[in-house]
């Protein structure tokens, strides 16, 4: 059977979320789907719960990248969509509309190297932190660097995915961001119509601001190539289902040890300068934050604060002097504010039932 779309879903102990996603997929209209569950060794009722939907089940080594690649090898469709197990598709025509828009872009552009992602909406159990959730949701509409991740779904041609070399299995983190930026370099991202819903459980359980701080650290250090940090923090990643209150002390400790033991003075100075440049290049996020904070009206996605940044502020600070200024600001914020705060607060905080210690996998 020739499928319109092969959907590949990595799973690990997702008995509470995966059946809901499969129900949504079953309700999708006018699309012929091949659904593949790449299971990383679930010990709960995940497999039994999803068998009623008759997906293809693939046993894979634990690790989201390895699971996704294993699922891809079992797929047969020419078009591939990677989804997370805690995603929801509330519109029964979501995939039909997305495929039409994507195929129209492919035919217009005359190039198969176009990938699509959905804007996100978070499913939340609590009303707290509404502004930061709006901020994160809004960024998923963009196609700027470091704004695309696996929660948004990755839709692309089979041949393009093969040419990209699949997901990077060398580490247990950032496999989706790595592929997203590779796509950005070798092809084009487009925002698909509609909205994909995703669970906000990790933010709510681990602490919304703490997770966002950690995400920022990871992306910044990965983007400037400081893999020493990831080697030192290798055992600190936990799976979605195992996440409790996030302690940032171990991550800040790993960063400090990297500066002291791995980089030396010259390497540390170069790293801070690179971080300053990275932050300067992402200064647009601060302006977009003010759009969200002030709830400024916009037309056709032209947020006024963000537009001011792109037109005036961004070009004005694109120089080594501003990189140096940002270096000092980032050093002050990291070393003299955030690091001391979390080293003290997390030391005094009673340990919860879940602590860092297992690798992140799905």
pLDDT in tens, 328-351: 999 999 999 999 999 999 988 765
How confident is the model at residue 361, as a pLDDT?
40
pLDDT of residue 348: 85
Instruction: Tell me the backbone φ, ψ of residue 27, rounded to 5 degrees.
Output: -85, -5
What is the pLDDT tens value at each position of the chain, 362 positions in all?
567 899 999 999 999 999 999 999 999 999 999 999 999 999 999 999 998 899 999 999 999 999 999 999 999 999 999 999 999 999 999 999 999 999 999 999 888 999 999 999 999 887 778 888 999 999 999 999 889 999 999 999 999 999 999 999 987 778 999 999 999 999 999 999 999 999 887 888 788 889 889 989 999 999 999 999 998 887 776 544 455 678 899 999 999 999 999 999 999 999 999 999 999 999 999 999 999 988 876 665 678 999 999 999 999 999 999 999 999 999 999 999 999 999 999 988 765 544 443 333 44
What six digits make up the tokens of 202? 């990790």
Full set of structural domains in the chain with CATH:
5-199 (3.90.550.10), 203-348 (no CATH)
- Residue pair 100/190 in contact (Cβ under 8 Å)? The answer is no
Q: CA angle 128-132-133, nearest 5°?
A: 75
Question: Which whole-number Å values give the CA distances from 111 to 50, 186, 344, in the listed order?
Answer: 36, 11, 53
d(CA 324, CA 266): 15
pLDDT of residue 23: 97
Q: What's the pTM?
A: 0.89
Query: So what's the pLDDT on residue 351?
Result: 56
Give the whole-angstrom CA distance, residue 55 versus residue 230. Answer: 35
Residues whose CB is less than 8 angstroms from the CB of residue 196 and which lie 6 or more positions away in sequence, other chains included: 87, 88, 89, 94, 118, 119, 120, 121, 151, 152, 153
Q: pLDDT value at position 334?
A: 92
Supply the pLDDT for residue 2.
66
The C-alpha atoms of residue 248 and residue 270 are separated, in whole angstroms, by 24
């Amino acid at each position: 059977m020739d499928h319109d779309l092969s959907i590949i879903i990595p799973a690990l102990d997702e008995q509470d979320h995966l059946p809901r996603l499969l129900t949504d997929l079953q309700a999708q209209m006018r699309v012929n789907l091949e659904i593949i569950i790449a299971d990383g060794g679930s010990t709960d009722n995940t497999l039994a719960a999803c068998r009623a939907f008759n997906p293809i089940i693939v046993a894979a080594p634990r690790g989201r990248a390895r699971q996704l690649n294993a699922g891809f090898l079992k797929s047969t469709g020419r078009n591939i969509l990677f989804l997370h197990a805690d995603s929801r598709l509330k519109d029964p025509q979501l995939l039909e509309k997305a495929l039409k828009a994507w195929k129209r872009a492919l035919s217009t552009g005359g190039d198969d190297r176009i990938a699509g992602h959905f804007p996100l909406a978070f499913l939340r159990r609590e009303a707290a932190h509404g502004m930061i959730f709006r901020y994160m949701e809004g960024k998923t509409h963009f196609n700027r660097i470091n704004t695309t991740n696996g929660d948004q779904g990755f839709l692309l041609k089979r041949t393009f995915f093969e040419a990209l070399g699949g997901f990077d299995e060398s580490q247990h983190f950032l496999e989706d961001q790595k592929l997203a930026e590779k796509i950005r370099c070798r092809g084009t991202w487009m925002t698909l119509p509609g909205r994909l819903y995703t669970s906000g459980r990790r933010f709510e359980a681990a602490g919304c601001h703490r997770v966002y701080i950690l995400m920022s650290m990871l992306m910044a250090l990965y983007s400037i190539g400081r893999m020493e940090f990831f080697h030192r923090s290798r055992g600190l990643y936990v799976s979605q289902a195992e996440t409790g209150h996030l302690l940032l002390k171990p991550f800040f400790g790993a960063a400090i040890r990297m500066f002291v033991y791995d980089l030396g003075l010259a390497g540390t100075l170069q790293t801070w300068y690179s971080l300053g440049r990275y932050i300067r290049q992402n200064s647009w996020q601060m302006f977009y934050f003010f759009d969200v904070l002030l709830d400024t009206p916009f037309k056709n996605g032209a947020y006024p604060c963000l537009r001011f940044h792109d037109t005036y502020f961004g070009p004005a600070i694109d120089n080594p002097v501003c990189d140096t200024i940002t270096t000092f600001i980032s050093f002050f914020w990291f070393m003299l504010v955030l690091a001391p705060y979390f080293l003290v607060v997390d030391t005094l905080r009673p340990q919860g039932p879940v602590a860092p210690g297992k690798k992140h996998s799905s």
